[in-house]
A and B are shown apart, each in its own frame.
Chain A
Amino acid sequence: MPNRVAAVWSRAQRRLHWWVAALILLGFAIAWPMVALPLTELLLKFLLYQAHKTIGLLVLALMLWRLLLRARRGRPPPLPGLPGWQLRAAAAGHAALYGLALAVPVLGYFVAATAPAQVPTLFLLVVNVPHIVGPDPAAFAALRLVHRAAAILLVVLAAGHAAMALRHHLHGRGELRAMWRG
């Protein structure tokens, strides 16, 4: 990714950051009851799955938008005065967050497509998103594990990212405020 240096994050970049964060947390929170619900609660189970799939597709679209904006507008310079290892750790952490935020929805799409129960993916409950592959129980079982593990890793990394932001904030640095208000 080109690291063009901008003065600040643009308003669109800041808003997209928070929208993606909120959607990831919501999608993650929905996932557990959605899987645990018995088939006797079919309607609710179906609606939770479709909400989860819609959120995943939104995250994917917004992440692609973020990548585009980042390539065009760049990012502010890293925090001054941080030791090199912290800068490298931050860069690796951010790259992993971008990668996982893209990979988890893509993996989720393939989980849905290979699932033995052929339930369509209905974006916002109305737009049928075609499945480019069919049911495949072996692939489904593997993809499901990877999707879940990657999602857990994403949320753990995002929590670490939030903890770092909070730590800088408590040390009097302005990044968290700047990301929120510009």
Chain B
Amino acid sequence: MPNFGRGVLVALLLLIGAGRACAQEVFAIDQRFGEIDFRVSHLGLFDTTGHFARFHGDLTIDATAPEKSGIAVEIDAGSVEMPWANEVDLLRSPPYFDVVAHPAARFASTRIAADGPNRFLVAGSLDLRGVTQPMMLHAVLTGRHHDAQGDVADFIVTGAIRRSAFGMTTDQSFISDRVELIIHARVILTAAAHAQ
């Protein structure tokens, strides 16, 4: 399971209010306010962006056993969305996300390290199309506020993968191998409904 660097744990405990995080707590990532976007380049001439409409995830913080803390996200691969319906069909097909054989993509962190104030490096692994590869994400805490869900924290998480590493090798002449990820995540810090 994932583990935090000690500094990160302190930062995250401060984030949620140290008094409450005396045992393992699980905080939901609220997909209603989140977005997982991906972007590819075409011949270096222009970019195309798509996103996943459905995903869910948890941020687990365990004050007593930091190594049990981490982030796990599951993405519904079939919820891929593009501006044009034909593009969606293409991306769901076997050469791309192959959503019938692999309906879900999963990310699980293995280590989270501080990378400056409100910045975190999240190392983990991505399981996509049945292939698991290591992946590094950069998370920035962009804001905290109190709203109808309670206390929430907004993050922008970025990273990049090479799609060929996951066996998605089709049409490399036109679609870049490098896929950038831009994730807007909102973590609900009010743990009442989510604590274990």
Chain A, Cβ-Cβ closest to B175: A42
0 or 1 for each of B154-182: is its CB under 8 Å from A? (1 = yes):
00000000000000001101110000000
Contact of A118 with B by CB under 8 A: yes
Residue numbers in B under 8 Å from A43 (CB-CB): 171, 173-174
Contact of B45 with A by CB under 8 A: yes
Give min CB distance, B144 to chain A, whole Å. Answer: 34
What's the Cα separation between A122 and B44 when bound, in Å?
12
Interface contact A120-B45, CB-CB below 8 Å: yes
0 or 1 for each of B67-110: is its CB under 8 Å from A? (1 = yes):
00000000000000011111100100001000000000000000
What's the Cα separation between A42 and B84 when bound, in Å?
14
Contact of A1 with B by CB under 8 A: no
The residue that A39 contacts in the complex, of B43, B45, B90, with Cβ under 8 A, is B90
Give min CB distance, B98 to chain A, whole Å. Answer: 14
Chain B, Cβ-Cβ closest to A125: B45
Count of A-B contacts judged by CB separation below 8 Å: 36
Residue numbers in A under 8 Å from B175 (CB-CB): 42
Chain A, Cβ-Cβ closest to B89: A39
Contact of B194 with A by CB under 8 A: no
Give min CB distance, A167 to chain B, whole Å. Answer: 45
Interface contact A116-B173, CB-CB below 8 Å: no
If A119-B46, A120-B46 touch, does A40 touch B171 (CB 8 Å cutoff)? yes
Residue numbers in A under 8 Å from B87 (CB-CB): 39, 117
Residue numbers in A under 8 Å from B42 (CB-CB): 46
Chain B: how many interface residues by the 8 Å CB criterion? 18
Residue numbers in A under 8 Å from B45 (CB-CB): 120, 122, 125
Contact of A135 with B by CB under 8 A: yes
If A46-B42, A122-B45, A125-B45 touch, does A39 touch B174 (CB 8 Å cutoff)? no
Give min CB distance, A141 to chain B, whole Å. Answer: 13
What's the Cα separation between A39 and B173 when bound, in Å?
13
Residue numbers in B under 8 Å from A117 (CB-CB): 82-84, 86-87
Residue numbers in A under 8 Å from B174 (CB-CB): 42-43, 46
If A119-B46, A120-B46, A125-B45 touch, does A42 touch B83 (CB 8 Å cutoff)? no
Chain A, Cβ-Cβ closest to B171: A42
Interface contact A135-B83, CB-CB below 8 Å: yes
0 or 1 for each of B30-52: is its CB under 8 Å from A? (1 = yes):
00000000000011011010000
| Residues of A37-55 contacting chain B, CB below 8 A | 39-40, 42-43, 46
If A40-B171, A125-B45 touch, does A118 touch B83 (CB 8 Å cutoff)? yes
Q: Can you list the 3 inter-chain pairs with the closest CB atoms, starting with the nearest?
A: A117-B84, A43-B174, A116-B84
What would be 11 A-B contacts, judged by CB atoms less than 8 Å apart?
A40-B170, A42-B171, A43-B173, A46-B43, A117-B82, A117-B84, A118-B83, A119-B46, A120-B45, A122-B45, A135-B83
Task: List 20 additional contacts besides A43-B171, A116-B84, A125-B45; criterion CB under 8 Å.
Answer: A39-B86, A39-B87, A40-B90, A40-B170, A42-B171, A42-B173, A42-B175, A43-B173, A43-B174, A46-B42, A46-B43, A46-B174, A115-B84, A116-B85, A117-B84, A117-B86, A118-B48, A119-B46, A120-B46, A135-B83
